[in-house]
Amino acid sequence: MSHAVTCTAPVNIAVIKYWGKRDEELILPINSSLSGTLSQDQLHARTSVMARADFASDAIWLNGKQESIENPRLQNCLREIRKLAAAKQTHQQGAPLPTDKVHICSVNNFPTAAGLASSAAGYACLVYALAQLYKVGDSLAEVTKLARVGSGSACRSIYGGWVRWVMGEAADGSDSIAEQVVDEHHWPEIEVLILVVSDHKKTTSSTAGMQTTVETSSLVKHRADKVVPQRMEDIQNAIRARDFETFGRITMQDSNQFHAVCLDTYPPITYLNDVSRGIIDMLTKYNAHKGKIQAAYTFDAGPNAVIYLPRENVNEVVNLVRHFFPPAVGAEAAFVRGFRDVPA
Ligand code: 2P0
């Protein structure tokens, strides 16, 4: 007998960035973080999982190509889910046995390693699908913990709307979970514009980059201990109050500090390029010209810009981008999207 589940999960884009772990194995961060989950209409991972007693071994295909199932992060997810399945007192009706082998097929509909949070959507989708398959993860909080051990930022893609990942204090990671701050209906005027500057694979992976940062940067300690806690409070209040001025300022400041921390790392990490810096300049001048913040940029571990902005400013900003950064220059207004519901 075979059991199969297919899910999709969206990308999330942090406005308070996660950068640095206190525990590499359990993926426990040195600071809390907060993100908006995008609509899954355009940027998503789609994962199918199938378990059968007669499969010879576990196997995984990513974007149509078979990859090693021995990836330690993947093994951690599979082991934790099977442990939960085995711990259920009675075998769950309609679920495979924990000993059945599983085949996993996952496809991203966007560049996989260009700093567009592909691992977040990928692991959120994988873990959600496996939890459905094995009928474990009784609460979404539990599922966020399972997603976290695949990739830290994945825990935030389990919810729609605005989501915080609470760093937690426990050494076993039991309180390091994602929680929804407000759902996707709370601030429907906000849109997300993604400017694809490059779809090449990034030069320094987030995992390796943040490890070097924790080992060498003094700025990151200051950031984690002294800056982020207050910013987490302030941005949640701004989101709840739909205060775009405060939200936008903190978003841009936190992106700037994350990239300053990258430069404070030794050897330094550079994710932004000249086009990224040009986009920062353009939006800084646009906001100054308007006399208040009308659009807020943020950059992850790559040169691509993500712009949060009220819908009424989308056309104006898209026209500015087209004027100053035509495709030949390197940026393209690729996606305009809002928020979404939980994985489906
Ligand atoms: C974030 N990033 O909060 C930040 C901003 C990149 C810059 O989460 O090692 O791929 O798998 O836990 O989750 C990228 O880190 O790293 C990331 P792992 P992950 O979205």
- Probe target for ligand 1 pocket from 13, 16, 18, with the most ligand atoms within 8 Å of CB: 18
User: Closest residue (by CA) to atom 15 of ligand 1?
Assistant: 206
Residue 70 has a CB neighbour count (10 Å cut-off) of 9
Residue 159 sits at φ, ψ, to 5 deg, of -115, 155
Q: How far away, in angstroms, is 281 Cα from ligand 1 center?
A: 25
Contact 206/301 with Cβ under 8 angstroms?
Answer: yes
pLDDT, position 90: 59
Average pLDDT over residues 12-33: 97
pLDDT, position 175: 98
Architecture label for domain 2-182: 2-Layer Sandwich (3.30)
Closest atom of ligand 1 to CA, residue 207: 9
Q: Is 151 in the pocket of ligand 1 (CB under 6 A)?
A: yes
pLDDT tens per residue across span 51-95: 999 999 999 999 999 999 999 999 999 999 999 998 875 566 778
Among residues 126, 146, 135, 57, which one has the least CA distance to residue 96?
135
pLDDT band at 151 (very low <50, low <70, confident <90, very high): very high
Q: Is 132 in the pocket of ligand 1 (CB under 6 A)?
A: no
Q: How far away, in angstroms, is 137 Cα from ligand 1 center?
A: 23
User: Closest residue (by CA) to atom 11 of ligand 1?
Assistant: 151
Q: Is 42 in the pocket of ligand 1 (CB under 6 A)?
A: no
Give the start-to-end residue ranges of the domains of the chain.
Answer: 2-182, 190-337
What 3-state DSSP class applies to 18?
coil
Which helix (H) or strand (E) is 108 found in, with range?
strand 101-108
DSSP 8-class letter at 113: T
Architecture label for domain 190-337: 2-Layer Sandwich (3.30)
Q: Is 115 in the pocket of ligand 1 (CB under 6 A)?
A: no
For the four alpha carbons of 278, 279, 282 and 284, in that order, the dihedral sign comes to negative
CA 33, 37, 42 angle in degrees (round to 5)? 145
Mean of all residue pLDDT scores within the chain: 90
Q: Is 27 in the pocket of ligand 1 (CB under 6 A)?
A: yes
pLDDT, position 211: 98
- For residue 149, what are the contacts with CB-CB under 8 A and spacing of at least 6? 26, 27, 73, 76, 77, 80, 173
pLDDT tens per residue across span 248-268: 999 999 999 999 999 999 999
Q: How far away, in angstroms, is 19 Cα from ligand 1 center?
A: 6
pLDDT, position 96: 87
pLDDT top residue among 84 and 342: 84
